[in-house]
């Protein structure tokens, strides 16, 4: 009887020890499991370090969206008729905030839809050139609406040439901007260069170089822009020959040349002189939104990849 009690006690002690060891092992496994989950999440984020650039098919207008992880930047907002479809699509992408918005200049086909887009999302930083607003009631309606929308959520900032800012891990440089009270709207247009590791994107807006006389008058703009090789260029002014610079594309040597143009445009841009110059000076693939649809190009920091076209119709004037 005494031996049975001793054996029972030993079994009990062994059981307690076993459960204790199992408990320690379980807690250890649980800790390791948490570390593993954390590593998976970090790896997932690293795998998601992709810069996505959407060149929307908005007819003869301009609107470009950049997404890097949870960061967003919108360049221009197309026509007013395009805004509803753009807002709907951006919300479908899960966007609630536009960290950066750039109005390249004051032309209607770049800003008329921007006020409604800003009204629909939280706004971070807003950049545009210095612009003189006509105080007459029936003048500059779209511009006044845009300014009012920005002022309700933040303020307008007027950066200078060579101003730098970071968009997530993407480094941004304003290569050109001018005061539109001194030069015309296109000549004031923001030109933005965005660099993600080894890949570089150039957004030309409606950039048009100043004349020799203008450079002499406005000495602050009497500078020579240093153009770098880029992977992708957004061609200036819908591919209009009025903005064509001799040997310009030979300096850029892009892999892709993007042109935003609509089927309803009376001027039938892009002009042949522009596409001929791109073909003569580079081996770039020319992509025109009215033919290709909305263009999505992704960068992992090493390579740029053209994705399947997005067939959504964002051209409200079609």
Q: Into which CATH architecture does domain 51-306 fall?
A: 4-Layer Sandwich (3.60)
Closest C-alpha among 82, 53, 93 to residue 233: 53
pLDDT of residue 311: 87
pLDDT tens digits along 184-233: 999 999 999 999 999 999 999 999 999 999 999 999 999 999 999 999 99
Closest C-alpha among 196, 195, 169, 165 to residue 45: 169
Pairing mode of beta strands 285-288, 156-157 = unpaired
3-state secondary structure of 20: helix
Domain boundaries, the chain: 1-47, 51-306
Higher per-residue pLDDT: 17 or 92: 92
Distance from C-alpha of 93 to C-alpha of 110, rounded to nearest angstrom? 22
Task: Say how many C-beta atoms besides its own lie within 10 A of residue 92's C-beta.
Answer: 9
pLDDT band at 138 (very low <50, low <70, confident <90, very high): confident
């Amino acid at each position: 009887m005494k031996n049975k009690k001793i054996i029972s006690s030993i079994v009990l002690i062994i059981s307690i020890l076993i459960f204790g060891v199992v408990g320690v092992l379980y807690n250890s496994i649980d800790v390791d499991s948490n570390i593993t989950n954390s590593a998976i999440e970090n790896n997932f984020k690293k795998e998601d370090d992709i810069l996505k650039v959407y060149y929307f098919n908005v007819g003869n207008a301009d609107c470009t969206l950049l997404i890097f992880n949870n960061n967003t930047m919108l360049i221009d907002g197309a026509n007013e008729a395009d805004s509803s479809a753009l807002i709907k699509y951006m919300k479908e992408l899960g966007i609630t905030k536009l960290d950066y918005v750039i109005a390249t200049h004051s032309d209607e086909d770049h800003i008329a839809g921007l006020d409604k887009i800003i009204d629909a999302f939280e706004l971070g930083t807003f950049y545009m050139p210095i612009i003189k607003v006509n105080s007459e009631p029936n003048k500059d309606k779209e511009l006044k609406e845009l300014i009012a929308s920005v002022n309700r959520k933040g303020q307008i900032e007027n950066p200078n040439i060579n101003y730098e800012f970071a968009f997530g891990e993407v480094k941004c440089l304003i290569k050109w901007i001018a005061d539109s009270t001194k030069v015309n709207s296109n000549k004031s247009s923001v030109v933005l260069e965005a660099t993600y590791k080894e890949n570089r994107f150039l957004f030309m807006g409606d950039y048009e170089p100043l004349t020799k006389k203008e450079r002499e008058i406005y000495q602050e703009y009497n500078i020579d822009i240093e153009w770098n090789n880029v992977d992708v260029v957004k061609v200036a002014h819908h591919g209009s020959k009025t903005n064509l610079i001799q040997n310009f594309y030979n300096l850029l040597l892009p892999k892709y040349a993007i042109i935003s143009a609509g089927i309803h445009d009376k001027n039938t841009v892009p002009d042949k002189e522009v596409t001929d110059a791109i073909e003569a000076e580079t081996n770039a693939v020319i992509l025109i939104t009215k033919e290709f649809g909305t263009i999505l190009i992704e960068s992992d920091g090493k390579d740029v990849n053209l994705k399947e076209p997005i067939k959504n119709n964002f051209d409200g004037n079609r």
